[in-house]
Amino acid sequence: MRRLAFLSALVATVVVPSFGQQDSKYSSKLAPYVASPSRVVELMLDMARVKPGDTVYDLGSGDGRILVAAAERRAQAIGIEINPKLVAAATDEISRAGLSNRAKVIQGDVMQTDFSAASVVTLYMDTSSNAKLRPQLEKQLKPGSRVVSHDYEIPGWTPVRVEKTDEKQSHTIYLYEIGAKK
């Protein structure tokens, strides 16, 4: 939890480009960077039942707070992040936490990423971005994989569980499980 507090403070020092800007190396930027509160990170990982042996992919991993928390649970954690400054900040925090053997961040575009090794995928993107990702999730993820989305549903999917936080600013977490391929 101390690491998550540190990451919250780190956010203020990272310059994040506006939503409309794109790195010419990548074809899309699906969402602006907005950090998930510590309580939400823990709830997402709890709902997904993250445990040793899981491989967690955080799509749009930002400052890496989900990666650190998942690696602390002894899962393998891989973040995909388009912003090079956030990749550097997350990589530094993973290293400081002594978790480089279980967590890493890849600079890249989630729409061009193979995350078929994931048993858990975490997202904090809006509904339209989740809709764009849906075909890729359906194609790549194995039956039994869990997808956890912070605040936004995945259109066309029915969550197996929905939780709301009880904080002043409430957050909704959606848990989906990938069924058998048709």
pLDDT at 14 over 60: no
The answer to whether 131 and 155 are in contact (CB under 8 A) is yes
Of the candidates 172, 174, 139, 180, the one whose C-alpha atom is nearest the C-alpha of residue 154 is 174
- Range from 4-8, 33-37, 118-122 carrying the lowest mean pLDDT: 4-8
- How sure is the predictor about 16, in pLDDT bands with cuts at 50, 70 and 90? very low
The answer to whether 66 and 79 are in contact (CB under 8 A) is yes
* pLDDT at res. 102: 97
pLDDT at 7 over 50: no
Percent above pLDDT 90 for the chain = 68
pLDDT at 32 over 80: no
SS3 assignment, position 173: strand
Per the prediction, the chain carries an average pLDDT of 84
* pLDDT at res. 23: 39
- Residue 141 tokens read as 């993820």
Q: What is the mean pLDDT of residues 91-119?
A: 95
Instruction: Tell me the domains of the chain and their CATH numbers.
Output: 2-15+34-177 (3.40.50.150)
pTM: 0.81
Q: What is the pLDDT of residues 52-77, one digit of tens each?
A: 999 999 999 999 999 999 999 999 99
pLDDT at 130 over 60: yes
- Residue 15 tokens read as 């310059």
